[in-house]
Amino acid sequence: MEKNKKEFIKKLKDGIEELNISYSSEQLEQLWEYYRFFIEENKKYNLSTITEADAVIKKHFLDSLVILKQLNLEGRKRWLDIGSGAGFPGMVLKLFLPGDSFYLLDSSAKKVNFLNQLSYKLGLKGIDATHGRAEDLAQIGEWRSSFDYVCSRAVASLNILLEYAVPFLKIGGLAYLYKGPEYEEEIEAAQAALKTLGAEVEEIIELDVPGLEAERYLIVVKKTAKTPEKYPRRAGIPKKRPL
């Protein structure tokens, strides 16, 4: 196990340095503990099909951290990770943004239970994992229009994802949405959703994840106006009838 740990931390360290991100030995230790607990719990809960050490480093940890260089890190921010799953990217980002508040949202109770156990195990403060649907929580006062940043990875096509994400943002807030090479078609199909929800695509960033050959893009969406109260629609409707 000690040999595996050394190899894991070296590969992780090399990848983080290639991303040109500052890190501490404590953060590397936390990611090792994260990996160990993730592998252990995955046997019970099937959190992800990606479990081999190299793949977890590249496809989960580095892929989550790659957006750090794109962020305005001034002041403390309030984050929401929609469809957090096993904590990618929200839990990983929290380790590197300890002063920010993170809310991890997932519709799977077993994944939320894993996230709460993990945050306790890692001794994190200012992080909360919630079981629920974005369509329901975005209609609650303390959640709606209250976040500086929303992030999401591998949840839904852009026109659907916008209806989940934009209502949570403050005006001027940003959504960081991970997408693959089909992003142009998704943006084209999401024009009506952007207009209806009061948002616009501010930037498209090509991401370079060390060791990952797959094309990765970050769609940065800015909330420019108040979202009409009727959005998001009832749970399940955005997916069945996208804007």
What pLDDT sits at residue 2? 62
Q: Does the annotation place 87 within a ligand binding site?
A: no
Binned at pLDDT 50, 70 and 90, residue 51 comes out as confident
Sign of the torsion angle spanned by Cα atoms 35, 37, 38, 44: positive
| 140 pLDDT higher than 90 | yes
The residue among 197 and 70 whose pLDDT is bigger is: 197
Task: Work out the average pLDDT over 186-200.
Answer: 97
Q: Is the dihedral of CA 147, 151, 152, 158 positive or negative?
A: positive
What local confidence, expressed as pLDDT, does residue 32 receive?
97
Can you tell me the mean pLDDT for 116-122?
96
Q: Range with the lowest mean pLDDT among 15-24, 86-95, 205-214?
A: 205-214
Residue 122 has pLDDT above 90, yes or no: yes
Q: What is the rounded average pLDDT of the residues 107-129?
A: 96
Structure tokens at 45: 């809960």
DSSP 122-163: TT--SEEEEES-HHHHTTSTTTTT-EEEEEEESSS-HHHHHH
Is 107 annotated to bind ligand? yes
- Mean pLDDT, range 183-210, rounded to an integer: 95
**According to the annotation, is 108 in a ligand binding site?**
yes
DSSP 68-100: GGGS--SS--EEEEET-TTTTTHHHHHHH-TTS
pLDDT at 97 over 80: yes
The answer to whether 177 touches 219, Cβ cutoff 8 Å, is yes
Q: Dmax over Cα atoms in the chain, in whole Å? A: 55
* pLDDT band per the 50, 70, 90 thresholds, residue 100: very high
Q: Are 174 and 147 in contact (CB under 8 A)?
A: no
Residue 109 has pLDDT above 60, yes or no: yes
Q: Which residues pair with residue 219 across a beta bridge?
A: 177, 204
The helices-and-strands tally (H runs, E runs) of the chain is 11, 7
pLDDT value at position 150?
97
Q: Is 216 marked as a binding-site residue? A: no
Is 106 annotated to bind a ligand? Reply is yes
| Side-chain half-sphere exposure of 243, counting CA atoms within 13 A | 23
User: Which are the contacts of 199, defined by CB distance < 8 A and separation ≥ 6?
Assistant: 162, 166, 169, 175, 221, 222, 223, 224, 225
* pLDDT-above-90 percentage for the chain: 84
* pLDDT given at position 3: 65
The pLDDT tens digits for 166-180 are 999 999 999 999 998
In tens, the pLDDT along 143-159 reads: 999 999 999 987 789 99
For domain 70-240, the CATH architecture is: 3-Layer(aba) Sandwich (3.40)
CA distance linking residue 45 with residue 36, whole number of Å? 14
Closest CA to 150 of 174, 122, 131: 174
Residue 157 CA to residue 85 CA, distance in Å, equals 17
Please determine, for residue 1, whether its predicted confidence score (pLDDT) is greater than 60.
no
Is 134 marked within a binding site? Answer: yes
